Amino acid sequence: MKTNDVILKTTSHVVFFIIFLFSIHVFLAGHFAPGGGFVGGLLTSSAIVLLLLVYDIKTVQKLLPINYTIMTASGLVLALGTASIGMFMGKPFFKHYFDHFYLPLIGDTELHTAMLFDTGVYLVVVGVTLTIIQSIGGDD
pLDDT in tens, 91-121: 888 888 888 888 788 788 877 888 888 999 9
Contact 68, 131 (CB under 8 A): yes
CB 83 within 8 A of CB 117: yes
Residue 111 is assigned to a structural domain of this protein: yes
Q: Is the pLDDT of residue 69 over 80?
A: yes
The answer to whether 104 touches 90, Cβ cutoff 8 Å, is: no
Which residues pair with residue 107 across a beta bridge? 103
> To 10 degrees, what angle do helices 37-54 and 113-137 make?
30
> Is 13 domain-assigned?
yes
- Is the pLDDT score of 1 beyond 80? no
User: Per residue in 22-34, is it b (16+ CB within 10 Å) or e — as a string?
Assistant: ebeebbeebeeee
pLDDT at 58: 87
pLDDT at 29: 86
Whether residue 68 is predicted with pLDDT greater than 70 in this model: the reply is: yes
β 107-112/98-103 pair status: antiparallel
Residue 74 domain-assigned (yes or no): yes
Q: How far apart are CA 43 and CA 83, in angstroms?
A: 24
Range of the domain at 75: 6-138
Q: Is residue 21 part of a domain?
A: yes
Give how many domains the chain has, as a whole number: 1
Does residue 37 lie in a domain region? yes
Q: Is residue 1 part of a domain?
A: no
